[in-house]
Structure 1
Amino acid sequence: MRILFLLPLAAPLALAAPAAQATVRLPALVGSHMVLQRDRPVPVWGWAAPGEAVSVTFRGQAYPASAPDASGRWQATLPPTPAGGPYELVVKGQNTLELTDVLVGDVWLASGQSNMQFKVKDSYPGGYQPVQDADQEIAAANWPRIRFFTVNQAAAYRPQAEAAGTGWQVCSPATVAGFSAVAYFFSRGLYQQYQVPVGVVVSNWGGTPAEAWVSAEGLRELPEFGARLAAFAAKTTSLSDDQHAYDTQRRERLDNSRRYDKGYLLGGQTWAAPDFDARAWPTMPLPGPWETQPGLATYDGVVWFRKEIDLSARLAGQPLTLTLGKVEDADSTYFNGVKVGSGHDRDQPRSYVVPAGLVRAGRNVIVVRVLDRGGSGGIGGEPAQLALSGAGQTLPLAGPWQYQVGLPPQDQPVPPVPGGAQMAPATLYNAMIAPLQPFAFKGVIWYQGETNVERAAQYRTLFPALITDWRQHWGSELPFLFVQLANFQAALPQPAESDWAELREAQAGALRLPRTGMATAIDIGNPDDIHPHNKQEVGRRLVLAARHVAYGDNQLTYSGPTYASMTVVGAAVRLKFTHLGTGLDVKGPTLHGFAVAGADHQFHWATARIVGKEVEVQSPEVPRPVAVRYDWASNPDGNLANRAGLPAPPFRTDTWPGITEGKK
């Protein structure tokens, strides 16, 4: 973007308030290399000084903008334009902004939690890569007419006018590694199908609940969020200012932890003294994180660990080596009240020499003061690393240690939003969705739900509220496509209730809303990883849904066989389905994944077979069946599909209460 100043600028743009500055500026989302939505009016907006005349020129035609409002915001609307480009877009006020390499095509908003956030490739701990064949995908990513803009993660009490981001990036082997993997494979599939430019605005945050992405207005029908929303509305400060104040206070207490640490006693004594009475201290197993202990699940601060050991006369007066494994984050380590070492590198295993003069026969006391600034805290590593050795002997120290908190949690500064601002209702909508309006989109892809699994009953209302909310704010019935959660966790030998199954059912319930589509991932998950690695197939199935819902392809088989109705025939049940395509199919030698129950609500595995366009199920243990469930488990193994290879979404024919009923 080139900026041509027509008048002198009194202050840097980034430091000036929108209404006070004397030149036109644009939101980060409106920039060079962007993609604009084809075939519909396209809003372009920004800020200028009060009374400043602004115009936008595109493809040789100038379009006047509205007069700046009290905040300095103006808006112009470009007419519907067919796919094409590159073009220049010029914004002129007292200064001129020239945007280059602007394309017109289809623009999608991609949002959700970690399964949408995970990049094509990144540096994850232990070399973990959540996307299969990432290197090959990167090498082949020469798609200059695919563009991505990734919104910076942020949270706010109230809707924000602006959101920072990466700027529009042109897809290439040099850039694609940083793109959302699901969104990339989706955009690539769309481009290959329609050969028009594709832009994706990615706005996501791993581990977040759906309610964080819904506006306060959209949550009004869910009273359980009312108290927190009212508290946010009453705030006279910003969340960023409150967070900064909290961070400053927290950092000061950790940087000066000795000043506040109750382990430092009057008279210069500490909890490391051998004669200190620690008999009332609780114990925890080491090595291991302290977050497993009551009251310490989210604790960052200081914990003192203490262990008394008996040494033989043979070791008395001998130098010893004390190893601790990895300490998170910093430690001060004492032997019989004398400091023998300290460290600050959480990745460096600790090893300290205990001078011979400190070692005595009989009772000895080891104390480790641990300071954790964030994340997991405690003494980690392998049990064998926690040991005292010397004179040809090794004394294992793994096992129970006494512990006491040096900085009591109740004395710590309280964060502005306990539990994390990104976990609270409306905060992510305010900071990461509201600022994107009124940018024109073709539709939305959404991959979220894992964080709401324990409140699946609530999700039946919450998820449709999110879809409706976004559509109302954009003033358009945007196509909304989502991924139904994949199989995860250990498989169970017998039919059972499942919160994961209930969440998937709640997701599927949103299909009652018009212009929605679902990509089922029930057959590509991993029992040990909540993040399926086959992001390519997730993207492909979203493309199929988009081709039907957003592009009007009614001849396409875009979904797996979907339960429609049941009929009891003697001891058997006949099931009918929609989305058959050219017919039902089985991925494997025999059909399985079905369970049936009688009036007692007790489910038993059933045998199943395809009979024409139906599936017949029965069990000798249920002579009078009244209900059928399919893939009703956290990690089911059903194999019903259609001949297009798309799996049947999980379903149940009953409406009996599940394990998440009443949870909020």
Structure 2
Amino acid sequence: MVIQRDQPVKIWGWADKNETIEVVFGSQSKKVKADKNGNWALSLDKMAFGGPYSMQIKGRSNHITLKDIYVGDVWLCSGQSNMEMPVHGWSSVDNYQEEIKNADYPLIRTFNVTKGMDAQPRNDSEGMWMVCSPDQVADFSAVAYFFARKLNQELNIPIGIINSSWGGTEIESWITPDAYKALPGRFNDKYEAVDMADFDSFLKENEINKSLYQKAMDRDPGVKEQWYNPSTDVSLWEKMLLPQVWENVLGNVDGIVWFRRTFTLPKEDSGKDTVIQLGPIDDDDETWLNGVKIGESKGYAINRIYEVPSELLKEGENTIVVKVSDYSGGGGMYGNADDMYIKTAKGRYSLAGEWVYKSSVTNKAFNYVTVSPNMLYGLLYNAMIHPFISFPIQGVIWYQGESNVGYAYDYRTLFPAMINSWRSKWGRELPFYWVQLANYMAKDVKPQRSEWAELREAQTMTLLLPQTGQAVITDIGDGDDLHPRNKQDVGFRLALIALNKTYGMEEMTCSGPVFKSMNVIGNKVYIEYDQIGKGLCVKNKYGYIEGFSIAGANQQFEWAQAYLDGDKVVVSSTHITHPIAVRYAWSNNPDVNLYNKDGLPAAPFRTDNWEDSK
């Protein structure tokens, strides 16, 4: 265990009513009497870092001894799967064998919080403290471990990390219920099917509805009625523009939805081997072409690419049908427009645009709500954060946002609301540092809307709150893996922020270049940056800066040429004579090669706020 230094430490527990409890820790000895409900609490005087210590907790008839306690700094580490990801387990970090072998840091301890959710705030949580060693480090949160390792190396003090994270979770579940209820009414609309008045009764009834819903999923009427057949009457099917998560159209719905689109091929393209790409689909799909199944995939982060036998394609009209099954969270065909196409030996044809669809089985039809942390706001806060609000901590590191992609404009409200709600519960302005979303998915052929870029922007806007910091990692993600394995640099960059901002080591540069201003001269845009450290640099032997796009009054962005001119970046395009807006790294998986000389990447930005980006 690690207890926070330089702050009074609250010790609490449960006993018989009116029982006297004595706590002995180091040179301190304090007593308290339990109240009529058996609750008791006392505060130990603040202590400097050190240890190991033992703590004696004595009651009327029992005696508890806690050993190997250190006093140092404690950091709460929370978020979704990229914070949860272990050093080695369901995924593994780069070079994990060596990392495990060398993980001899006995002054680093982790408390892995047992997953749980609750409609009411809990006062206790299950979990256990572990000492950092080659035998145990595999189960540490990788980001939290590499963060703690850098702090320990620089500060030479004990570091405790409380890992309270859960993969696939939305930020709403981490916000305190009272703070969420204070948000504008539209934020509560997505939870209208959840009865909070009697949550236990709701869960029982929900289980009955779940059984009926799952039976319907197994007996999909779309399969029984062969909706994949080109002769199916779709005159009453609705229309939807793809790609997008279907929540934008259907609301908060899980289940099975069928999509269909026809496309026309010229004679020279028929009868030739073909590839169909649909991009990522959330969660599972089965895909037919002209009534014949050509593939199926399971998993929301997989790019769907299916080979089509030459005999299936015909001159003229062809029909593609996709059955999408979604089990929780966002659903549908949600990638980039450039990810959706059919490619023949002669040409490439986009499949983005208008499709028709029909819902086959939905949870709403059965009044069933998927029981998960995302079913209601505050569930994870109540079970996995609230139990610690009386335990002093130094600060928070956070890695989350992937599950809120598609709702970036809501995230602008939700993220600062969560930070403020946690600070309110701890009673002080906790340092709060987070990881901006990594680069992910396919590269853009041309500039286009990016929901990942919009979410990153919402994260950046939250820097307006005091005592905050952001680790930019758009250069170290993996386009094919939602859980990039380079967690060493993620933890390292978070630690740089903490060392600079919390520990006063101002000589440590903790941020890459951040947009400051733009100045248009002729057809060129001159960009100035803050946080340039020892100066700007380009990781390209020819000096070309990648990832910039510019637009004129028509709001159509074009890729731009960019180069350094001293500590300014000069941006232009032969297609734009009068530029008025600039974007950098504005895509799901941007090209990034602009850094400061301290090795930290420039942050994504845009100078416009055009409505067409929504």
Report the TM-score when normalising by structure 2. 0.74
Measured at CA, do residues 229 and 159 of structure 1 come closer, stay the same or move farther in structure 2, by a change above 3 Å? farther
Structure 1 residue 600 corresponds to structure 2 residue 554: yes
Residues of 1 paired with 2:81 and 2:530: CA distance?
A: 31
Residues of 1 paired with 2:57 and 2:207: CA distance?
A: 39
Matching of residues 157-168 of structure 1 within 5 Å: 157-165=119-127, 167-168=128-129
| Total equivalences in the alignment | 491
How far residue 423 of structure 1 moved from its aligned partner, in angstroms, is: 4.1
Q: Does the CA-based 8 Å contact 1:159-1:431 persist in structure 2?
A: yes
Q: Does the CA-based 8 Å contact 1:211-1:425 persist in structure 2?
A: yes
Name the residue aligned to 1:535: 487
Matching of residues 480-491 of structure 1 within 5 Å: 480-491=432-443
Name the residue aligned to 2:65: 98
Structure 1 residue 212 corresponds to structure 2 residue 156: no
Name the residue aligned to 1:432: 384
Name the residue aligned to 2:356: none
How far residue 223 of structure 1 moved from its aligned partner, in angstroms, is: 2.2
Say which SS state the counterpart of residue 149 (structure 1) adopts: strand
Residues of 2 paired with 1:157 and 1:175: CA distance?
A: 33
Measured at CA, do residues 221 and 63 of structure 1 come closer, stay the same or move farther in structure 2, by a change above 3 Å? same
Name the residue aligned to 1:357: none
Measured at CA, do residues 70 and 217 of structure 1 come closer, stay the same or move farther in structure 2, by a change above 3 Å? farther
Say which SS state the counterpart of residue 168 (structure 1) adopts: strand
Q: Which moved more, 1:73-82 or 1:209-218?
A: 73-82
Residues of 2 paired with 1:92 and 1:582: CA distance?
A: 57
Name the residue aligned to 1:16: none
Residue-by-residue CA offset, 1:417-468 (whole Å, 9 max, x unaligned): 4362444211111111111121111110100000101100111111011111
Residue-by-residue CA offset, 1:223-269 (whole Å, 9 max, x unaligned): 2333677887843354xx86578669968999xx89xx999xxxxxx
Structure 1 residue 48 corresponds to structure 2 residue 24: no
Name the residue aligned to 2:226: 282
Alignment partner of 1:170 out of 131, 136, 141: 131
How far residue 567 of structure 1 moved from its aligned partner, in angstroms, is: 1.3
How far residue 281 of structure 1 moved from its aligned partner, in angstroms, is: 2.5
The aligned amino acid for 2:14 is W
Measured at CA, do residues 282 and 236 of structure 1 come closer, stay the same or move farther in structure 2, by a change above 3 Å? same
Measured at CA, do residues 139 and 252 of structure 1 come closer, stay the same or move farther in structure 2, by a change above 3 Å? farther
Measured at CA, do residues 281 and 231 of structure 1 come closer, stay the same or move farther in structure 2, by a change above 3 Å? closer
Q: Does the CA-based 8 Å contact 1:147-1:169 persist in structure 2?
A: yes
Residues of 2 paired with 1:248 and 1:63: CA distance?
A: 52
Alignment partner of 1:653 out of 582, 607, 611: 607
Structure 1 residue 634 corresponds to structure 2 residue 588: yes
How far residue 638 of structure 1 moved from its aligned partner, in angstroms, is: 2.5
Residues of 2 paired with 1:248 and 1:654: CA distance?
A: 50
Measured at CA, do residues 568 and 243 of structure 1 come closer, stay the same or move farther in structure 2, by a change above 3 Å? same
Name the residue aligned to 2:6: 39
The aligned amino acid for 2:152 is Y
Structure 1 residue 617 corresponds to structure 2 residue 575: no
Q: Does the CA-based 8 Å contact 1:209-1:423 persist in structure 2?
A: no
Residues of 2 paired with 1:575 and 1:554: CA distance?
A: 25
Q: Does the CA-based 8 Å contact 1:182-1:535 persist in structure 2?
A: yes
Residues of 1 paired with 2:441 and 2:165: CA distance?
A: 24
Residues of 1 paired with 2:583 and 2:211: CA distance?
A: 53
Measured at CA, do residues 565 and 250 of structure 1 come closer, stay the same or move farther in structure 2, by a change above 3 Å? closer
The aligned amino acid for 1:213 is W
Name the residue aligned to 1:77: 43
Residues of 2 paired with 1:487 and 1:169: CA distance?
A: 32
Q: What are the ranges of 5 or more consecutive residues in structure 1 without an aligned counterpart?
A: 1-33, 124-128, 264-270, 272-277, 286-291, 301-371, 376-404
Residues of 2 paired with 1:425 and 1:55: CA distance?
A: 39
Residues of 2 paired with 1:211 and 1:85: CA distance?
A: 38
Structure 1 residue 185 corresponds to structure 2 residue 146: yes
How far residue 48 of structure 1 moved from its aligned partner, in angstroms, is: 1.8
Name the residue aligned to 2:333: none
Alignment partner of 1:156 out of 101, 107, 118: 118
Say which SS state the counterpart of residue 179 (structure 2) adopts: coil
Residues of 2 paired with 1:446 and 1:149: CA distance?
A: 16
The aligned amino acid for 2:523 is A
Q: Does the CA-based 8 Å contact 1:581-1:643 persist in structure 2?
A: yes
How far residue 72 of structure 1 moved from its aligned partner, in angstroms, is: 2.7
The aligned amino acid for 1:100 is K
Residues of 1 paired with 2:384 and 2:487: CA distance?
A: 24
Name the residue aligned to 2:269: none
Q: Which moved more, 1:226-235 or 1:514-523?
A: 226-235
Name the residue aligned to 1:498: 450
Measured at CA, do residues 610 and 575 of structure 1 come closer, stay the same or move farther in structure 2, by a change above 3 Å? same
Q: Which moved more, 1:478-487 or 1:612-621?
A: 612-621
How far residue 609 of structure 1 moved from its aligned partner, in angstroms, is: 1.4
Report the TM-score when normalising by structure 1. 0.68
Say which SS state the counterpart of residue 235 (structure 1) adopts: coil
Alignment partner of 2:500 out of 538, 541, 548: 548
Task: Give the greater-gyration-radius structure (CA).
Answer: 1
Q: Does the CA-based 8 Å contact 1:55-1:76 persist in structure 2?
A: no
Residue-by-residue CA offset, 1:380-406 (whole Å, 9 max, x unaligned): xxxxxxxxxxxxxxxxxxxxxxxxx9x
Say which SS state the counterpart of residue 611 (structure 2) adopts: coil
Measured at CA, do residues 568 and 69 of structure 1 come closer, stay the same or move farther in structure 2, by a change above 3 Å? farther
- Let me know the Cα RMSD of the aligned residues: 3.2
Measured at CA, do residues 528 and 576 of structure 1 come closer, stay the same or move farther in structure 2, by a change above 3 Å? same
Name the residue aligned to 2:97: 135
Identity %: 43
